A and B are shown apart, each in its own frame.
Chain A
Amino acid sequence: MASNFLRLRKPYYVESTINCSSSSDQKLVNLSFGIDETRNQTKKRQAKEHHGRRSCLDSCCWVTGYLCTTWWLLLFLYHCCLPFTVVHEVPELMPAARLKREGLTGIHPVVLVPGIVTGGLELWEGKPCADGLFRKRLWGGGGFTQLLKRPLCWLEHLSLHNETGLDPPGIRVRPVPGLFGADYSAPGYFVWDVLVKNLAKIGYEGKNLHMAAYDWRLSFQNTEVRDRALSRLKSKIELMYRANGNKKVVVVPHSMGVAYFLHFLKWVETPPPMGGGGGLGWCAEHIKAIVNIGPSFLGVPKAVSNILSAEGKDVAYFRAMAPGVLDSGTLGLRALEHVMRVSRTWDSVVSLMPKGGETIWGNMDWSPEDEHVCDFSKKRYFRLSPSDNNVNKSNAKQVFRVKDPVKYGRIISFGKAASVLHSSQLPTAVLKEILHMSASRNFTSSCGEAWTEYDEMSRESIQKIGAADKAYTATTLFDLLRFVAPKMMNRTEAHFSHGIADNLDDPKYNHYKFWSNPLEMKLPDAPNMEIYCSYGVGIPTERSYVYKLSPSNKCKRIPYQIDTSVDGEDRSCLKSGVYFADGDESVPVLSAGFMCAKGWKGRTRFNPSGINTYVREYQSKPLTSGIKSTAHVDIMGNIALIEDILRVAAGATGEEIGGNKIYSDILRMSERINLRL
């Protein structure tokens, strides 16, 4: 009843004001006084009469109320029942609980190094449009809500300066320090949290657990220049070493953090102006082991497609499913262009480009993964029965050999033909021709404000690159990128190098741009250190792409896109324009495992002191739930991996946890790579 009455209150007043305009003032007075008097009266009448028609509004309210009530009820029940459901999961989720019963306690301090994208960023100084966001997250955590609220403002603040690769004027975005920096990437999407929980179970806490948060958008040396991130990390490691009774630290980098920490290893031992001045032997003194998770030592092909057209497998699929949505300019969204504009200012993306050129990634007609079997389901199957492993494998190979081997070496091909034809049938030197052509012509941009560097290229040269049946290998790829994005490559090639060193004693290799490339640096002199490569296998991972010219050839458009119409036959590695190889969904096995499997194995020129390396692979099982997943980020919740890390942190050596554990073909692939060691 009361509710009905409430509903009626508003019409009273509205009515009265309207009436007053037509009738006398006297009436208004009466009306307003009369309301109280008539309240009882109306109530009675209402009781009699109000069961009239439900208006649309009423029904709406009713439905909403109904839904809300149900929702709350369910929520309430959920919270009541939660304790019971959790109890069942806990023992499984917590390998630490079991290990603790075995008597394991944390001995070595642990340093976590997050990868690209997973670290949080917060605002310290911004443009007026970002008012009120001071020290609020822009990236990670709840930060993505800002993306929805003010997308352009958000993009502007996440961009870096086009030329310096540092802050744009008037904007300071900084990494979130501490464990909060990267424990969850988005609410509910854990990154480090499970691992941290498990470490805490065996006795870790703030004083012996550190998250080396850094701004993952910057090039590695710039994190030191701007934020002193490397100095801080050094000081933190020294402090933890001292404060925990001179116990060496165990470092756990993930994804790009692997390359970042390689950079740190060199930086810390290099004398001051460029390096940290820790002196030779710093690593030997302070570091027990580096447990690389999902390491992208030799880069990822994904980075190439990201730079070229701001898309990956997922975006390409999406485009195929809903053609036109991403490309339509009607909404003024043009999401991909914006993404490309922003991500091209991030130097760190370039650190993920494939390193080692054709020697590692294969050339036009050859690649280390030549014998790769693409039927992942089948592969999993025969893995389960090791006894007839060989038989199955040879079968698979036979089936496979009937077809042409996939030419993984061609990381980018324009047109499907270019990706399968023999190299002799492909035109050569297109790029040089175009370069020559465009250099001779004084080209002025017709696109007004340039968004991406594509706008500064002449339409003809864009067309020409796309039209020719041309394939690019890991080496020639850089020529292509230098052509389509000269400024970006200029900026970033001062910070990263992607080649292979001929002579590591060459003094030029003292420059910091070589420090994050394992093929152009020597590991520090630390014979007692251990390096682990822990990564997931068994998930199809992007390895090379088939491109086409995008249909709309206008300004402010990305002229190339993955050709999603290209599909191989059944059980082929080609799907929607992407060739897949084995890996953890982001990093191919080759990139993750090669250094540990061969490049650094034993005493090589890259590893002069003979640091022990171990390859630990984690096999993806069909229908994996969270705790057994081996995908690039989800692997951080993999119980087998966590157990390994805990054991290493508690003092076990690589031999004690079982040495190498290999499911993929990494050893055979590595064999095929002809690299002088």
Chain B
Amino acid sequence: MSSLRRRKPINESSDSKHKAEEEDEDHDDVDADGDDDVNGKNKKTPSKIKKKRGEKPPKQPKWSCMDTCCWFIGCICITWWLLLFLYNAMPASFPQYVTEAITGPLPDPPGVKLKKEGLEAKHPVVFVPGIVTGGLELWQGRECAEGLFRKRLWGGTFGEVYKRPLCWVEHMSLDNETGLDPCGIRVRPVSGLVAADYFAPGYFVWAVLIANLARIGYEDKTMYMAAYDWRLSFQNTEVRDQTLSRIKSNIELLVATNGGRKVVVIPHSMGVLYFLHFMKWVEAPAPMGGGGGPDWCSKHIKAVVNIGGPFLGVPKAIAGLFSAEAKDIAVARALAPGFLDNDIFQFQTLQHVMRMSRTWDSTMSMIPRGGNTIWGGLDWSPEEGNSCAKKREKKNETQIADQAGSENAVCKAKSANYGRIISFGKDVAEAPSSDIERIDFRGAIKGHSAANTTCRDVWTEYHDMGFAGIKAVAEYKTYTADSLVDLLHFVAPKMMARGTAHFSYGVADNLDDPKYKHYKYWSNPLETRLPNAPDMEIYSLYGVGLPTERAYVYKLSPHAECSIPFKIDTSADDEDTCLRDGVYSVDGDETVPVLSAGFMCAKGWRGKTRFNPSGIRTYIREYNHLPPANLLEGRGTLSGAHVDIMGNFALIEDVIRIAAGASGEELGGDQVYSKIFNWSENINLQLDEEIPVHSSS
């Protein structure tokens, strides 16, 4: 482009040179500049210019504004096309050259590296995507969604969110009572590898892993994406779509068509819970389960490689359900106060989000499980003594060691009460438990606030609660994992009624109790036994080294008619206790705390326990988070963040080795950076069977 544009001036510049020299003698410098510019600009020969200086320019049809506009657009278009053409003509490996020129040679992708080592595809691989990352497409919709048949509503470009937001919300919501399709709307998961390879264009989820597996010879017949509708409760995916049956049939097919080699299952995020559910379902007898018989898992599964698994739930889910916000939203609200809350544009974004996400049963599968035993009570938590200094060290590596040490000491002196997952006010969060006066909310009568009918069509259950209910909630001051479930029952009774029919959050006292045969316990690792499959292996792969939400400081929001009455108190900050913007954070992968991801493999299932009667071997593989070195690396190959870890080279290498037949010992056993073992020690959970057969300690 530039060469084209330049051609003219260059041709003339030879002329103008003479002139410039001429004029150089006559005028001072500044003046000469002006003349030169004129020459270049008007593209006239010098003689003409001289003429023109005295006279008026010759009459020419004038460029109207319209013409100028057209000219301008044309210019831009042509430039754009040219650049596009150049971009397309550029060899595909060009960006890589640039990157390598700047950062030095990149390491081989793990697939290439391992192929050189001679690894080959061996075990078929099953991917189980997590919440939110799977695509959903429309099969039947209301009139407002005309023309969107089999177009993605979730995943992809999300174009429809901007075009017709209310229509979109309507189609993404499920029925409030049944948790299934609303009348006349069918939104279904996209099937195949395309379901979750990319979440949005350029934002990979499984794509990097798939590409690397393909390098050592995997293809469609040896890979299977167990796409499911992540909005539904796990058992409902079977009821509505027969998804569990399909997964069973597909795993059987994979094993049969690959010479009897067992599959390696790779669930991510909520997929971990979904697959736990599946393993129980498939061995349960027919009407409720899949009828695969008691040794189905040991016959068909080699290993379950859980990536970033929220085995015991995530505190984030609480914030999401309670006030439809998380750290990010809270920060946005703090940065631009009033923007999310104002009703001027009738947006009510958060309320709509809440109304929609509360119809999704699956969000309730992520509520912290195990109650106070796992997550800590008012005055203790397994992570006690965790310091934020570690993180700061990473941020500022120039910090002197002993300075960090001293900070450590401070932190120990004043540790956060992580057990109090929700506290109303910072003082409550820090005070010793004996100082907190709590009024039980459970019996409180919900008043009806009269003016609620004006809230248009936005529905959240808060409107049924009234002022009295809200006040009662706030006066209980602080909530631990146990009382949280009660709190949610109180503020969202309908949702929790649906949820508790499908999920359970406790710890089993006696696993032989026949009630545990019900499917609602299947996805809770503390209320189920692992299948009888002594040769199977369970891995827990997750990132560490990122601050992860663990507990929240809430406040009552200035009451407006239709808004959500609670919100995170972003003004609450405390350097020493890891409190930032109203959120206490601990070590984890930005979404799942280490405790949730690692505890089962570190202790709950280690050896022969009552949750793992056949002694399935478990391995923990942690990946320390390192931010990408520069912008060119994109999301980095060393990331430990919840989703970005799917592009972590070390993790991919581990996964490929397992798929190619390596056992956990061959990988190197546990690889731990966090204090997960210490923290697990702090948790006092009975692991032996009631009649002790074999003591694991």
Contacts and interface: CB of A to CB of B under 8 A. Distances in A.
Interface residues of B, number: 80
Contact of A231 (B63, B211, B257): B257
Given A49-B52, A205-B186, A16 B36 contact: yes
Nearest to B245: A243
A55 B92 contact: no
B192 A69 contact: no
Contacts of B44: 52
B139 A227 contact: no
A63 interface: yes
A42 B34 contact: yes
A8 B9 CA distance: 10
A23 B186 CA distance: 76
B221 A3 contact: no
Contacts of A18: 10, 13, 17
A200 B149 contact: yes
Contacts of B38: 42, 45, 49
A175 B219 CA distance: 10
Query: What bracket does the count of chain A residues touching chain B fall in?
Result: 35 or more
A500 interface: no
Interface stretch (A127-135, A285-293, A455-463, A563-571): A127-135
Contacts of B57: 48-49, 51-52
Interface in A187-209: 196-197, 200-201, 205-207
B475 interface: no
Contacts of B70: 61-62, 65-66, 69
Contact of B21 (A14, A23, A179): A23
B30 A38 contact: yes
A358 B39 CA distance: 84
A231 B52 CA distance: 85
Nearest to A15: B40
A61 to B, nearest CB: 4
Counting chain A CB atoms within 10 Å of each CB, the highest count among B9, B58, B67 belongs to: B9
Interface string A24-40: 00110011001101100
A178 B192 contact: yes
Interface stretch (A234-242, A468-476, A551-559, A578-586): A234-242
Given A22-B20, A22-B21, A61-B78, A177 B5 contact: no
A205 B68 contact: no
Contact of B74 (A64, A131, A231): A64
A401 interface: no
A234 to B, nearest CB: 9
A187 B16 CA distance: 54
A19 B74 contact: no
B68 A3 contact: yes
Contacts of B75: 3, 7, 61, 65
Contacts of B93: 131-132
Contacts of A58: 71
A180 B73 contact: no
B242 A207 contact: yes
A124 B222 CA distance: 12
B9 A243 contact: no
A46 B37 CA distance: 10
A14 B13 contact: yes
A50 B42 contact: yes
A206 B241 contact: yes
B17 to A, nearest CB: 5
Interface string A487-523: 0000000000000000000000000000000000000
Interface string A242-279: 11000000000000000000000000000000000000
Interface stretch (B248-256, B554-562, B620-628, B652-660): B248-256
B261 to A, nearest CB: 13
Contacts of B41: 8, 11-12, 42, 46, 50
Contacts of B30: 30, 34, 37-38
Contacts of B68: 3-4
Given A49-B52, A134-B211, A196-B150, A42 B245 contact: no
A605 interface: no
A1 B559 CA distance: 52
A207 B24 CA distance: 83
A525 interface: no
Contact of A61 (B71, B139, B241): B71
A174 B150 CA distance: 23
A68 interface: yes
A68 B21 contact: no
Contacts of A57: 4-5, 8
Given A49-B52, A124-B219, A232-B221, A62 B40 contact: no
A52 B60 contact: yes
Given A68-B77, A174-B220, A38 B52 contact: no
A134 B221 contact: no
Contacts of A15: 9, 13, 16, 36-37, 39-40
Interface in A123-180: 124-125, 131-132, 134-135, 149, 172, 174-175, 177-180
Interface string A49-82: 1111111011011111110110000000000000
A41 interface: yes
Given A34-B30, A52-B44, A10 B5 contact: yes
A238 B245 CA distance: 11
A6 to B, nearest CB: 8
Interface in B424-469: none
Counting chain B CB atoms within 10 Å of each CB, the highest count among A10, A62, A201, A238 belongs to: A62
A432 interface: no
Contacts of A134: 211, 214
Nearest to B207: A135
Nearest to A1: B68
Contacts of A31: 33, 36
Interface in B1-50: 2, 4-6, 8-10, 13, 16-17, 20-21, 24, 29-30, 32-34, 36-44
Interface string A84-111: 0010000000000000000000000000
Given A42-B41, A69-B70, A125-B214, A131 B219 contact: no
Nearest to B28: A30
Contact of B37 (A12, A61, A83, A228): A12
Contacts of A38: 30, 33-34, 37
A50 to B, nearest CB: 7
Interface in B244-294: 245-246, 249-250, 252-253, 256-257
A50 B49 CA distance: 12
A65 B214 contact: no
A11 B40 contact: yes
A11 B9 CA distance: 6
B107 interface: no
Given A15-B13, A231-B257, A62 B219 contact: no
Contact of A34 (B29, B63, B78, B149): B29
B410 interface: no
Contact of A14 (B9, B215, B241): B9
A7 B32 CA distance: 21
Contact of B192 (A83, A180, A205): A180
Contacts of A4: 68
Contacts of A7: 75
Contacts of A227: 220-221
Contacts of A175: 220
B598 to A, nearest CB: 33
A239 B74 contact: no
A636 to B, nearest CB: 16
28 contacts: A10-B5, A10-B9, A14-B40, A19-B36, A23-B20, A23-B24, A26-B29, A30-B29, A31-B36, A49-B42, A49-B52, A51-B60, A51-B63, A62-B74, A64-B74, A68-B73, A125-B214, A132-B93, A135-B211, A135-B214, A149-B88, A174-B219, A200-B149, A200-B150, A206-B191, A228-B221, A232-B221, A238-B249
What 6 pairs across the A-B complex have the smallest Cβ distances? A65-B74, A11-B40, A64-B74, A65-B70, A61-B74, A132-B92
